[in-house]
Amino acid sequence: MMEFDRDQYLERIRLDPSKAAPDLNGLCALQLAQASHIVFENMTPLTGHVPDLATDALWDKLIVQGRGGYCFELNGLFGMALSTFGFDAKPLMARVYGGQPRGGPRSHLSFIVRIDGEDYLADCGFGGGAPVLPMRLSLNEPQTVRGEVFRLRADAETGDTVLERNMEDGWRTLYGFEPLRVQPSDIEAANFVSAKWDKAPFSSNLMMTVVTPEGRHNLFNRGLKIIRNGETESRTLETFDAFRSAMTDLFNLPDNDTLFRQVWDKIKNR
């Protein structure tokens, strides 16, 4: 197993080392910094490949190459950081609800982090508008995170603890989880299914999100949304040049003509 390079990781997420202490402030700083500088993107499964979750492969892709990834990659890296910086963190496998009354298979990885006897949900890898700061595991209590309101509630029928976001039309279910022990094989299997299963969205649609100081940049195929201070600007990327510019200027990715053209060929008619 490779050695985690603290300095290189902190440089990648542009975080001052003094802010990475194993306390609540440090957890908030790490989560927000990673979500702001390592983009959620599913280009690897979209172009027909299963992401490699080996630690050296994650490091090379996300840190050395400057790429992004989806939940198993982003939270795989985040989990290494949590361990390295001294946090008491346990992995969590969740069912994605996507606004529906019931979730799908356990296909999302996040973490429960215990600090001073209190548990927090911490997540750097959900592309669907999850909180960008840790949430207390307190049921039915609305929590405001950078202007967005979330809550956790118990679903008596499924046994899940469900994460919800308050939208204009009411509470939207994001994902649900149970306090089950997670094995590495659970993550490996879910990663393969997420990348290859035709009922999962990752092999057929491009999904991207990155946190900004004012909000987020989101992309679904060619549909771009720039969210600033609660206001949303929407537009469609009509040309490859516009797509390429969005990748480098809005989503912090290094220019990669071969990859970008492969992805554009997948989405240009959507």
Looking at the annotation, which residues are catalytic? 71, 108, 123
Among 201, 233, 203, 200, CA closest to 215: 233
Cβ-based neighbours of 104, under 8 Å, separated by 6 or more: 95, 96, 97, 98, 199
Q: Are strands 118-122 and 135-136 parallel, antiparallel or unpaired?
A: antiparallel
Q: In what order do the strands lie in the sheet with 106-115?
A: 135-136, 118-122, 106-115, 88-96, 170-177, 161-167, 148-154, 143-145
Q: At what angle do helices 240-249 and 257-267 cross, to 10 degrees?
A: 120
Instruction: Give percent helix, percent strand, percent coil of the chain, each to the nearest 5.
Output: 30, 30, 40
Q: Are strands 223-228 and 231-236 parallel, antiparallel or unpaired?
A: antiparallel
- What gap in Å lies between CA 186 and CA 81, rounded to an integer? 20
Cβ-based neighbours of 60, under 8 Å, separated by 6 or more: none
* Residue 164, beta-bridge partner list: 151, 173
Which amino acid is located at 201 in the chain? P
